[in-house]
Amino acid sequence: MLFTRLISNFARFLVIGFTVSYFNQFLIPIIGIKPDTCSFDFKIDESFFQHFEYSEIKSGEVQVHLAMEKEEKLIKFHFSLTGYVRIPCDRCYEPLNQKISGEEELIVKFGPDFHEESEVVQVIPEGENHFDISPFLYEYVHLLLPIRRVHPEDEEGHSECNPEIIRLLEASPKPAEPDPRWEILNKLKTNN
Protein backbone atom coordinates (compact mmCIF):
# COMPACT_ATOMS: atom_id res chain seq x y z
CA MET A 1 0.00 0.00 0.00
CA LEU A 2 2.73 2.40 1.04
CA PHE A 3 4.76 1.31 -1.96
CA THR A 4 1.80 2.00 -4.32
CA ARG A 5 1.36 5.44 -2.77
CA LEU A 6 5.06 6.17 -3.13
CA ILE A 7 4.92 5.14 -6.79
CA SER A 8 1.84 7.27 -7.50
CA ASN A 9 3.36 10.29 -5.70
CA PHE A 10 6.52 9.84 -7.68
CA ALA A 11 4.51 9.64 -10.96
CA ARG A 12 2.66 12.83 -10.01
CA PHE A 13 5.94 14.55 -9.21
CA LEU A 14 7.23 13.51 -12.65
CA VAL A 15 4.11 14.89 -14.39
CA ILE A 16 4.28 18.22 -12.51
CA GLY A 17 8.04 18.37 -13.09
CA PHE A 18 7.53 17.71 -16.80
CA THR A 19 4.82 20.40 -17.10
CA VAL A 20 7.01 22.98 -15.34
CA SER A 21 10.08 22.21 -17.45
CA TYR A 22 8.02 22.04 -20.66
CA PHE A 23 6.45 25.44 -19.95
CA ASN A 24 9.80 26.99 -19.01
CA GLN A 25 10.58 27.37 -22.71
CA PHE A 26 7.73 29.89 -23.02
CA LEU A 27 9.25 32.20 -20.40
CA ILE A 28 11.11 34.55 -22.69
CA PRO A 29 14.09 36.41 -21.17
CA ILE A 30 13.55 40.12 -21.66
CA ILE A 31 16.42 41.53 -19.63
CA GLY A 32 19.72 41.76 -21.41
CA ILE A 33 18.42 41.09 -24.91
CA LYS A 34 20.23 43.06 -27.58
CA PRO A 35 18.46 46.03 -29.19
CA ASP A 36 18.46 44.31 -32.59
CA THR A 37 16.29 41.33 -33.43
CA CYS A 38 16.58 37.97 -31.71
CA SER A 39 14.43 34.93 -32.37
CA PHE A 40 13.11 31.69 -30.88
CA ASP A 41 11.41 28.59 -32.30
CA PHE A 42 8.88 26.39 -30.54
CA LYS A 43 6.65 23.46 -31.31
CA ILE A 44 3.33 23.33 -29.49
CA ASP A 45 1.47 20.04 -29.26
CA GLU A 46 -0.62 17.87 -26.92
CA SER A 47 1.56 18.72 -23.88
CA PHE A 48 0.73 22.38 -24.46
CA PHE A 49 -3.04 22.09 -24.98
CA GLN A 50 -3.53 19.66 -22.09
CA HIS A 51 -2.25 22.32 -19.72
CA PHE A 52 -5.37 24.42 -20.50
CA GLU A 53 -8.10 22.47 -18.74
CA TYR A 54 -11.11 23.75 -20.72
CA SER A 55 -9.42 23.80 -24.11
CA GLU A 56 -11.57 22.40 -26.93
CA ILE A 57 -8.27 21.67 -28.66
CA LYS A 58 -6.65 18.60 -27.14
CA SER A 59 -3.83 17.99 -29.59
CA GLY A 60 -2.12 19.22 -32.74
CA GLU A 61 1.24 20.36 -33.96
CA VAL A 62 1.98 24.04 -34.48
CA GLN A 63 5.39 25.51 -35.29
CA VAL A 64 5.92 28.92 -33.77
CA HIS A 65 8.62 31.36 -34.79
CA LEU A 66 9.07 34.37 -32.55
CA ALA A 67 11.15 37.37 -33.62
CA MET A 68 11.77 40.05 -31.00
CA GLU A 69 12.84 43.58 -31.54
CA LYS A 70 13.88 45.74 -28.61
CA GLU A 71 13.35 49.47 -28.65
CA GLU A 72 14.10 51.94 -25.88
CA LYS A 73 10.90 51.52 -23.85
CA LEU A 74 9.23 48.51 -25.41
CA ILE A 75 9.77 45.11 -26.99
CA LYS A 76 7.99 44.07 -30.17
CA PHE A 77 7.05 40.40 -30.47
CA HIS A 78 6.29 39.08 -33.93
CA PHE A 79 4.80 35.57 -34.00
CA SER A 80 4.41 33.29 -37.04
CA LEU A 81 2.31 30.19 -36.46
CA THR A 82 1.79 27.31 -38.83
CA GLY A 83 0.52 23.76 -38.37
CA TYR A 84 -2.71 22.00 -37.47
CA VAL A 85 -4.90 21.37 -34.44
CA ARG A 86 -7.34 18.54 -33.82
CA ILE A 87 -10.89 19.74 -33.12
CA PRO A 88 -14.42 18.34 -33.57
CA CYS A 89 -16.04 18.88 -36.99
CA ASP A 90 -19.06 21.24 -36.92
CA ARG A 91 -20.98 18.94 -39.26
CA CYS A 92 -20.32 15.32 -38.13
CA TYR A 93 -18.67 15.97 -34.70
CA GLU A 94 -15.79 13.59 -35.51
CA PRO A 95 -12.25 14.98 -34.93
CA LEU A 96 -10.58 16.72 -37.85
CA ASN A 97 -7.09 18.15 -38.39
CA GLN A 98 -7.67 21.85 -38.97
CA LYS A 99 -4.78 23.65 -40.66
CA ILE A 100 -3.89 27.03 -39.21
CA SER A 101 -1.39 29.62 -40.32
CA GLY A 102 -0.90 33.32 -39.59
CA GLU A 103 1.03 36.14 -38.01
CA GLU A 104 0.39 38.00 -34.76
CA GLU A 105 2.01 41.07 -33.20
CA LEU A 106 2.39 41.94 -29.53
CA ILE A 107 4.03 44.96 -27.91
CA VAL A 108 5.34 44.60 -24.37
CA LYS A 109 5.84 47.84 -22.46
CA PHE A 110 7.16 48.48 -18.97
CA GLY A 111 4.89 50.17 -16.44
CA PRO A 112 3.76 50.15 -12.80
CA ASP A 113 1.95 46.76 -12.90
CA PHE A 114 0.65 43.95 -15.14
CA HIS A 115 -2.21 45.11 -17.33
CA GLU A 116 -3.51 44.92 -20.85
CA GLU A 117 -3.37 48.35 -22.46
CA SER A 118 -5.04 47.14 -25.64
CA GLU A 119 -5.46 43.91 -27.60
CA VAL A 120 -1.87 44.13 -28.80
CA VAL A 121 -0.18 46.05 -25.98
CA GLN A 122 0.72 44.32 -22.72
CA VAL A 123 2.23 46.26 -19.81
CA ILE A 124 4.52 44.47 -17.35
CA PRO A 125 6.25 45.83 -14.22
CA GLU A 126 9.74 47.30 -14.54
CA GLY A 127 12.36 44.81 -13.42
CA GLU A 128 10.58 41.67 -14.73
CA ASN A 129 13.17 39.26 -16.08
CA HIS A 130 10.90 37.04 -18.15
CA PHE A 131 7.67 37.27 -20.09
CA ASP A 132 5.33 34.27 -20.37
CA ILE A 133 4.08 33.95 -23.94
CA SER A 134 2.10 30.69 -23.39
CA PRO A 135 -1.33 32.35 -22.78
CA PHE A 136 -0.82 34.48 -25.91
CA LEU A 137 0.08 31.44 -28.03
CA TYR A 138 -3.05 29.69 -26.76
CA GLU A 139 -5.16 32.70 -27.76
CA TYR A 140 -3.49 33.08 -31.17
CA VAL A 141 -4.15 29.45 -32.10
CA HIS A 142 -7.86 30.04 -31.38
CA LEU A 143 -7.90 33.34 -33.31
CA LEU A 144 -6.49 31.55 -36.36
CA LEU A 145 -9.25 28.92 -36.42
CA PRO A 146 -11.85 29.44 -39.16
CA ILE A 147 -15.42 30.18 -38.03
CA ARG A 148 -16.74 27.02 -39.68
CA ARG A 149 -14.62 23.90 -39.17
CA VAL A 150 -15.68 20.98 -41.33
CA HIS A 151 -13.98 18.00 -42.92
CA PRO A 152 -12.71 18.92 -46.39
CA GLU A 153 -13.83 17.22 -49.61
CA ASP A 154 -11.71 14.51 -51.24
CA GLU A 155 -10.37 14.72 -54.81
CA GLU A 156 -13.71 13.56 -56.21
CA GLY A 157 -15.62 16.22 -54.32
CA HIS A 158 -17.04 13.90 -51.64
CA SER A 159 -17.15 15.18 -48.08
CA GLU A 160 -14.76 13.40 -45.70
CA CYS A 161 -17.31 13.69 -42.86
CA ASN A 162 -18.35 10.44 -41.17
CA PRO A 163 -21.00 9.18 -43.66
CA GLU A 164 -22.98 7.24 -41.03
CA ILE A 165 -23.41 10.29 -38.80
CA ILE A 166 -24.39 12.45 -41.79
CA ARG A 167 -27.00 9.83 -42.81
CA LEU A 168 -28.43 9.81 -39.27
CA LEU A 169 -28.52 13.62 -39.13
CA GLU A 170 -30.27 13.84 -42.50
CA ALA A 171 -32.81 11.19 -41.48
CA SER A 172 -33.78 12.94 -38.24
CA PRO A 173 -36.94 15.08 -38.47
CA LYS A 174 -36.34 18.76 -39.08
CA PRO A 175 -38.01 21.35 -36.78
CA ALA A 176 -41.48 22.22 -38.12
CA GLU A 177 -41.90 25.49 -40.05
CA PRO A 178 -44.02 28.02 -38.10
CA ASP A 179 -47.66 28.07 -39.25
CA PRO A 180 -48.23 31.43 -41.09
CA ARG A 181 -51.76 31.68 -39.58
CA TRP A 182 -50.23 31.91 -36.08
CA GLU A 183 -47.90 34.65 -37.31
CA ILE A 184 -50.95 36.72 -38.42
CA LEU A 185 -52.70 36.12 -35.07
CA ASN A 186 -49.57 37.14 -33.16
CA LYS A 187 -49.30 40.35 -35.17
CA LEU A 188 -52.95 41.16 -34.43
CA LYS A 189 -52.31 40.59 -30.71
CA THR A 190 -49.25 42.89 -30.59
CA ASN A 191 -51.07 45.60 -32.54
CA ASN A 192 -53.92 45.78 -29.97
* Secondary structure (3-state) at 164: helix
User: How many residues form the binding site for Zn ion (CB under 5 A)?
Assistant: 5
Contacting residue, 92, 106, 133, 144, with Zn ion by CB under 5 A: 92
Distances (CA, A) of 106 to 58, 137, 169: 25, 11, 43
* Secondary structure (3-state) at 144: coil
In angstroms, give the least distance from the CB of 88 to Zn ion.
8
In angstroms, give the least distance from the CB of 151 to Zn ion.
4
Beta strands in 8-158 (DSSP E): 27-29, 38-44, 59-70, 74-88, 95-111, 115-116, 121-125, 130-132
DSSP 23: H
- Residue 87 is a binding residue for Zn ion (CB under 5 A): no
Q: Which residue's CB is nearer to Zn ion, number 94 or number 128? A: 94
- Residue 57 is a binding residue for Zn ion (CB under 5 A): no
Q: Which residue's CB is nearer to Zn ion, number 102 or number 163? A: 163
- Residue 91 is a binding residue for Zn ion (CB under 5 A): yes
Contacting residues toward Zn ion, per CB under 5 A: 89, 91-92, 151, 161
